[in-house]
Structure 1
Amino acid sequence: MREDISTAIIDSMSDGLVVIDSKGAVTHMNPSALKILGFTAEESRSPNYSELFIEHPENDAFNDILFEGLQRGRARGYGEVKFRGRDGRLIDLAVTTSFLKSGSPNNHSIVVLFKDITELKDLDRARSRVLSHLSHELTTPLSIVMACVDKLATPENNSFIARIKRNLDRLLQIQIDVGDIVRGKPLESSCSLAPWVEQALDLVELAGEEYPDHKPALDLIRNKIERDFTFEGSGVSPVSLAETIRKSLQALPETASARRLAYETRISKDDTPVMDPAMLEKIVNGLIRNAIENTPDGGRIILEISRRERETHLVVADTGIGITEASVKHIFGGFFHAVDTDMYSTKKPYQFGAGGKGLDLMRTRIYAEMFGFSVHCRSTRCMHIPAETDTCPGDIDLCPYVRSAGECAASGGTEFSLIFPASMPREV
């Protein structure tokens, strides 16, 4: 009865299924396999798979998969191959293989499961052709428009022309990215946040022109964005990472000093990358503040500088409540809270659980893109409060789950790393 049900299921599948024993004989081919490969039921009774599949050179990739299983005992997780069927059609197949073992270790059959993905591949090829055509056709008109805009520039409309050119540059970058997609190249700037900042500034400027009555308020917004998220290139110099940490700790406000936290610095080797010292200090201040606000009293903040291969790592780690795996993925996006917003209470900065807007981390990522270093987050959510809606009392002595700072540290924590590669300049 069970075998009858299994056979009925296999024969009703929309995917093709072929079973070949260890001697190369085709022992089963379901109706979908016959239809996809273009065989008749009579042809499928061939004594050996080579008589069915090795007729056309286009089938070499498919036969390599069979050979891996029959001769080398290797299953294929997934592969896409071309196949010339007995009816002459050249189709695209998605193929997986597994083994159907019998009592004897040397006597097993290979199960070949495949799907006809010809239509999907045709659509993909058509999409690539369209993208390639659009990419090519956009290049010339955009270049002409850019040249015309340059000729329209006057001292009176410099700001207006600059805005147009910035957006034309974005269109040109889109054209380049589309071309890279078609050619299968990685998009180096696909996750860059800097263009979004530029667009925000352009929108604020445009709104000020359309609504003159609101221009003073919009100017305040623009100034805030420029102050926090843009960099003009002045004040660049070699900056000591160790000195930056020292200044940040000394500058902690009274609210932070009132917290019962231990600070530990581990500096094995200092480094002096070339960047804006004030900007780096702002980044480190933000990371320390984030650590303090998420670590209960009795916990520890670790600041470390180390050399790993050819990179310098500046690490700000804490023994706090940690961040859920889902939240870590969005932590650098800005305006993202690692805990539910409803859980925040009205607290001052540096107090436990004080809820920021996530702008410090977003700004860190933007500055990293500007200067060529990278920022990473690794976190383990406290095992005792795994959900974002779970609460911590903010003091290890009041925690019902742990009895010491060591147990608290073992239950969760977060580590932010700034990684300065060897390619960054170390002198002006």
Structure 2
Amino acid sequence: MTERNPEDDFKTGLPEPPGEQLLVCERALSTSERKLSSMLELGRLIGLDLNLDDMLIQIASKAKEVLEADRFNLLLYDPKTDELWTKMVFEIEGREFRTPSHVGLAGYAFHTGQTVNVEDAHEDPRFFRYIEEAIGYTTKSMLCMPFFSRSGAVLGVMQLINKREGRFTAEDETLLRMFTNHASVFIEIAQLQKERMDTLEESRRELARLNKAKGKALDHLSHELKTPLALIQGYLRILKRKISKEPGGGPVLGYFDILKHYMTRLFEVQKECEKIMLAYREMEEENLVDELENLWKKIEGMDIPVDTREHWQTLKECVASYIPPDSRSESMFLLYPVAQKAIADTRANAPHRDIEFRLTGDEDASIFMDVVVVRDMMAGLLKNAVENTPDGGLVEVSVTADERNVTVAVRDYGIGITEQNKEHVFEGFFHTQETDLYGSKNAYDFGAGGKGLDLFQMKVYGRRFGFDISMKSSRCVHIPTDRDLCPGRISECRFVSRRQDCLETGGTTFYLTFPAVKEYLKTSSRDESTP
């Protein structure tokens, strides 16, 4: 006698004993609980990953498993093109497929907001056959369900294809609806995240393009200025000599001194353009070498054949051969005496300024660097400090050391830098004051400003020699914008009555942080041992 299967009776509607009915119900309940648990687990997993492509793969895998479907597609809406798209058409990952948003059963579900559940897709006139014809797949049953954003807008359609047994049921619809409500939140967040990242990347590319255009413009400006300026200077000299010989020409000669002053400034601009372009090229060359070093660090742990290592070394030497040789030499020296000499030179270069200089710190702190570079940087920082400090003010230099670093800080108690200008001070050819405020001033004058070249070069040196330059600044509370003027002398300021009052209102500190000698030698030995 053939044993009767209770589940067969349940499907065919034949009566079965109460005990067997209970068993079937328990099994059905257990299956539903398992499906529900799997759906909740998927919701937890996708909530941990905001990468849209990875999220879609997880959704497709779990939804197909739980709802016992042969295939699963998740179609997202692209409002820019009015299309539904997926990178997992019939789970062929990486192949993007797009259709107009109104096409097929998915398009109908998208535009009506209704669930579409068909037992035989080929008998439905809305069915779009192109996809299965393109990949050789036969569609039978299909369940399409739209999913929505938190604001109620349709984000796309989830599509289950070919139920493994029978057709998709009302229970399948309920489970899928519950899942779409949960998953749509994370899909929307992932889309917003992707849009932000795409916007940032587009901004980065645009900034790189503008930076490249700026470099070309500076290079062009440098070359275009050089010859005309030399010709103008020559003609002015000839014209001055002729006018000086003419009766009554004396009063006119004073204008030539003014023209000479501005011609000198134009020559300085031209020379600084050349320096900036050289610094940009050096930075690009250093970046190339750094990228090669970083690449090697990522792959050096792998089992690399000896001949590959030799080729790598040859490549590095070849790249290095295109970088202009550096005439500077590194050595160990005490930093404190260098700071003393820089202060003395600044005093000599600015005898007309009433500035107090103070030097404090560790007199025995030593670093391993190019002393010429350090002298140039100290001179540039002190010049910057003097030009931003009113007469009667103070400039402090300190040298500190610990086991890992040696830091020299140059602090002025001057006008400070506004918040919007802080992020640009190391960019090169950037000054923190309005051009017309210092156009006629000389070096070391209060408010003479500069073109930011010294600070930009220090940033380049930092990359090359392995030290750090940083800055802290607070704008004088009495002159909060670049257009607000400081009189240039503390005694003439209408906001303060004492020198100490001025010292407490603002100022800027630049820090040069070098590795201590022991740290530098450790780093150098590691670099030399790296292929």
- Give the TM-score normalised by structure 2: 0.43
Residue identity in the other structure for 1:414: T
Tell me which residue corresponds to 2:456. 362
Q: What's 1:243 paired with? A: 337
Q: Which amino acid aligns with 2:438?
A: Y
Distance 2:44 2:335 in 1: 58
SS in 2 for 1:411: coil
- Equivalent position to 2:495, from 371, 376, 401: 401
Aligned partner of residue 385 in structure 1, secondary structure: coil
Letter matched to residue 84 of structure 1: I
Q: What's the CA shift for 1:63?
A: 6.6
| Cα distance in 2 for residues equivalent to 1:336 and 1:305 | 28
Q: Which amino acid aligns with 1:424?
A: Y
For residues 413 and 306 of structure 1, the distance between their equivalents in structure 2, rounded to whole angstroms, comes to 20
Unaligned runs of 5+ in 1: 1-49, 66-77, 97-111, 129-165, 184-201, 203-225
Alignment equivalent of 2:387, drawn from 293, 305, 308: 293
What does residue 116 of structure 1 align with?
A: 188
Using the TM superposition, name which of 230-239 and 348-357 deviates more.
Answer: 230-239
Q: Which amino acid aligns with 2:356?
A: A
The one-letter code sitting in structure 2 at the alignment partner of 1:116 is: E
Deviations 1:18-48 (A, max 9, x none): xxxxxxxxxxxxxxxxxxxxxxxxxxxxxxx
Matched, 1:59 2:155: no
> Measured at CA, do residues 113 and 354 of structure 1 come closer, stay the same or move farther in structure 2, by a change above 3 Å?
same
Instruction: Say whether the 8 Å CA contact 1:261–1:299 is kept in structure 2.
Output: yes
State yes or no: 1:325 paired with 2:397: no
Q: Which residue of 2 aligns with 1:374?
A: 468
Distance 1:357 1:114, change over 3 A: same
Question: What is the rounded CA distance, in whole Å, between the counterparts of 2:413 and 2:448 in structure 1?
Answer: 17
C-alpha distance in 2, partners of 1:420/1:171? Answer: 20
Query: Structure 1: how far apart are the matches of 2:284 and 2:349?
Result: 47
- Paired letter, 1:413: G
Moved more, 116-125 or 307-316: 116-125
Counterpart-to-counterpart distance in 2, 1:374 and 1:178: 19
Residues 127-158 of structure 1: per-residue CA shift (max 9 Å, x gap): x9xxxxxxxxxxxxxxxxxxxxxxxxxxxxxx
Kept in 2, the 8 Å contact 1:255–1:348? The answer is no
What is the distance in 2 between the residues matched to 1:398 and 1:168? 47
**Secondary structure, counterpart of 1:348 in structure 2:** coil
Q: Partner residue of 1:257?
A: 351
Measure how far apart 1:254 and its partner are: 4.3
Over residues 346-386 of structure 1, what are the superposed CA-to-partner deviations in whole Å (9 max), with x where a residue is unaligned? 12211101122211111211112111111001111111111
| Structure 1 residues 107-146: aligned runs within 5 Å | 116=188
Whether 1:390 aligns to 2:390 is no
Equivalent in the alignment of 2:314: none
Query: Partner of 1:384: helix, strand, or coil?
Result: coil
1:233 CA drift (Å): 4.4
> Do the aligned partners of 1:54 and 1:60 also contact (CA within 8 Å) in 2?
no
Greater Cα radius of gyration, structure 1 or 2:
2
Mark the CA change 1:117 to 1:264 in structure 2 (over 3 Å): closer, same or farther: same
> Could you tell me which residue of structure 1 aligns to residue 436 of structure 2?
342
- Of 39, 55, 59, the match for 1:84: 59
State how far apart, in whole Å, the 1-side matches of 2:420 and 2:472 are. 12
How has the CA–CA distance of structure 1 residues 291 and 61 changed in structure 2, closer, same or farther, with 3 Å as cutoff? same
SS of the counterpart of 1:266?
A: strand
Do the aligned partners of residues 91 and 172 (structure 1) sit closer, same or farther apart at CA in structure 2, a change above 3 Å counting?
farther
| 1:253 Cα deviation from its structure 2 partner | 5.2
> What is the Cα deviation at residue 332 of structure 1?
1.1
Structure 2: how far apart are the matches of 1:316 and 1:388?
Answer: 22
Instruction: Structure 2: give runs of 5+ residues left out of the alignment.
Output: 1-33, 77-146, 151-183, 202-281, 300-321, 526-531
Question: Higher helix proportion, which one?
Answer: 2
- The structural deviation recorded for 1:79 is 9.9
- The separation in 1 between residues aligned to 2:287 and 2:462, in whole angstroms, is 24
Q: Name the counterpart of 1:419.
A: 513
1:151 is aligned to: none
Distance in 2 of aligned mates of 1:179 and 1:309: 30
Distance 1:384 1:347 in 2: 23
Q: Distance in 2 between matches of 1:170 and 1:352?
A: 36
In 2 relative to 1, CA 177–326 (structure 1 residues): closer, same or farther, beyond 3 Å?
farther
Task: Say whether the 8 Å CA contact 2:473–2:509 is kept in structure 1.
Answer: yes
Q: By how many angstroms is 1:313 displaced?
A: 0.8
Q: Which residue of 2 aligns with 1:282?
A: 376
Question: What SS does structure 2 have at the residue aligned with 1:248?
Answer: helix
Report if aligned partners of 1:376, 1:417 keep a CA contact under 8 Å in 2: yes
The percent identity for this pair of structures is 31
Secondary structure at the aligned position of 2:350 is classed as helix
Instruction: Quote the Cα distance in structure 1 between the aligned partners of 2:486 and 2:383.
Output: 18
Q: CA deviation at 1:51?
A: 8.9
Q: CA RMSD in A?
A: 4.7
Which of the pair has the greater relative contact order for Cα pairs under 8 Å at 6+ separation?
1
Write the distance in 2 (CA, Å) between the matches of 1:56 and 1:384.
60
1:175 Cα deviation (Å)? 8.5
| Residue identity opposite 1:334 in structure 2 | G
Secondary structure of 2:341's partner?
A: helix
Aligned length: 269
**Partners of 1:171 and 1:244 in 2: how far apart?**
30
Structure 1 residues 403 and 51, CA gap change in structure 2 (3 angstroms): farther
**DSSP 3-state at the match of 2:427:** coil
In structure 2, the CA distance between the partners of 1:342 and 1:52, relative to structure 1 (3 Å rule), is farther
In the alignment, which residue of structure 1 is the partner of 2:223? none
* Contact persistence 2:357–2:396 (CA under 8 A): yes
The CA distance in 2 between the partners of 1:168 and 1:247, in whole Å, is 33
Q: Spell out structure 1 runs of 4+ moving beyond 4 A.
A: 50-54, 62-65, 78-81, 85-93, 112-115, 117-125, 166-180
> How far apart, in 2, do the equivalents of 1:271 and 1:121 lie?
49
Q: 1:25-83, CA deviations, whole angstroms, 9 ceiling, x for partnerless residues? A: xxxxxxxxxxxxxxxxxxxxxxxxx9978525432235789xxxxxxxxxxxx998947
Which letter maps to 1:280? V
Q: Distance in 1 between matches of 2:287 and 2:39?
A: 50
CA contact (8 A) 2:346 2:382 kept: no
**Matches of residues 9-48 of structure 1 in structure 2 within 5 Å?**
none
Whole-angstrom distance in 1 between the partners of 2:283 and 2:495: 55
Partner SS state of residue 39, structure 2: coil
SS in structure 2 opposite 1:363? helix
